[in-house]
Amino acid sequence: MRDPRDLYRFESSEVLEAVPRSGLTLVHALPGMVDAGNACRIASTYLRDELRHLRLVSFDTDELLDYRGSRPQATFDGTSYTGVEIPEITLSLMYDEADRPFLFLDGPEPDLQWRRLAEALIDLVEYFEVERVVGMQAVPMAVPHTRPIGLFAHANDPSLLGRPNTGATPAPGTAPEGDEEGSGELVIPAAFSALLEHRLGRADHPAMGYAAQIPHYLTRTDFPAGALALLRRVSEAAGLELPLVHLGDLTDAATVALQGTLEQNAEVRQIVSALEEQYDAVSEGRESSPLSTTMDLPTADEIGEHFERFLADHDGDGPEEPPTL
């Protein structure tokens, strides 16, 4: 295997000097063939728009991506091609709302050289002395959008999920709950993030992640609620203060638009109703589930801030005093 370090380059020595060498978390979002509801893409774009960040590392996408399998987007003005957007995979230094630094890796899932890229990322984890790695995914599931979003939790060390370490390695994408013998093992198509988590574990680096369960009928639709669910969990797992209120506003607007669409489509309403019944029935027996699933619920601080924003937006909108006779 060629030297993994040839796959990336550092942006500048000045930026590297700004990176602390203790207590760092690396958050990654590398959506590939499956990014249900575009949840990972929405989360990545949102973080880049909301948080201060500096690019640390760029990866050689010509080595990692199959442009014929996933064509870059070109802009044509009727006469000339004014641009071709080549995807990028980058590692950035980001600062949360409390000015706490963390590393953020995002871009398309690589098509090629998975093992080599995993070794390159392990090299960077060790170079920056990263303490924990947290990933995001979004998968389609037979669930309704009218219920709290479930998330599959997984880790290369069960203690990261609050479980005793029995010495057994859970299957990528799964985490047995209440069953130390691992009867919840599944064999599933791998994502690059699964390989990365596994290889990090073999190198004694803690890594974990969450996969949001997105309603299957919204797989090809932007679903901000999925991104919000992921960022809530990443915020907790990484000990970060991520700006979630604006994303909550986008989620509310998308939900209203979705409800309007459902009112005009009786067939989809029937599907949602059936999924609601199934969801409620399964929820009653959730303790017997072989997968570690957590529900996405807003925190008290989020609810309070959202309510304050609502009052501020509607301040002075009340009825005028009646005219004096």
Position 286 scores a pLDDT of 57
Query: Does any domain span residue 247?
Result: yes
Contacts of 100 (CB under 8 A, 6+ apart): 239, 240, 241
Question: 319 lies in a domain?
Answer: no
d(Cα 24, Cα 16) in Å, to the nearest integer? Answer: 14
Mean pLDDT on 251-266: 88
Q: What is the pLDDT of residue 195?
A: 97
Tell me which amino acid residue 203 is. Answer: A
Question: In this structure, which amino acid lies at residue 152?
Answer: F
Q: How far is CA 225 from the centre of its chain?
A: 11
Domain count along the chain: 1
At CA 168, angle to CA 165 and CA 174, rounded to 5? 95
H or E, element range at 155: strand 150-155
The share of the chain scoring above pLDDT 90, in percent, equals 66
* Cα–Cα distance, 274 to 147 (Å, whole number): 13
CA–CA distance, 34 with 279 (Å, rounded to integer): 22
How large is the C-alpha radius of gyration of the chain? 22
Residue 284 predicted with pLDDT over 70: yes
Arithmetic mean of pLDDT, 151-176: 69
* Per-residue model confidence as pLDDT tens digits over 56-102: 999 999 999 999 988 999 999 999 999 999 999 999 999 999 999 99
pLDDT at 29 over 90: yes
Report yes or no on 131 lying in a domain: yes
- pLDDT category at 179 given cuts 50, 70, 90 is very low
Q: What is the pLDDT, as a whole number, of residue 293?
A: 63
Of the chain, the end-to-end C-alpha distance in Å amounts to 89
Is 50 exceeded by the pLDDT of residue 26?
A: yes
Range of the domain at 132: 4-313
pLDDT for 165: 64
**Confidence band (pLDDT; 50, 70, 90) for 321?**
very low
In a domain, 53, yes or no: yes
Buried b (16+ CB within 10 A) or exposed e, 250-266: bbeebeeebeeeeeeee
pLDDT tops 90 at residue 290: no
- Give the DSSP letter string of 213-257: EEEGGGTTS--HHHHHHHHHHHHHHHT-----HHHHHHHHHHHHH
- Per the domain annotation, does 41 fall within a domain? yes
Is 226 contained in some domain? yes
Share the mean pLDDT of the chain. 85
* Alpha-carbon span 64 to 231, nearest angstrom: 27
CA distance 203 to 225: 34
CATH of the domain at 176: 3.40.50.10900
Domain-embedded: residue 321: no
Give the pLDDT mean for 115-127.
97
Asked if residue 227 is part of any domain, the answer here is: yes
pLDDT of residue 324: 39
- Dist. CA 111–CA 236, nearest whole Å: 30
Tell me the whole-structure pTM to 2 decimals.
Answer: 0.83
Per-residue pLDDT of 95-106, as tens digits, reads: 999 999 999 999
B/e letters for 84-114, b = 16+ CB within 10 Å, e = fewer, are eeeeebbbbbbebeeebbbbbbbbbbbbebb
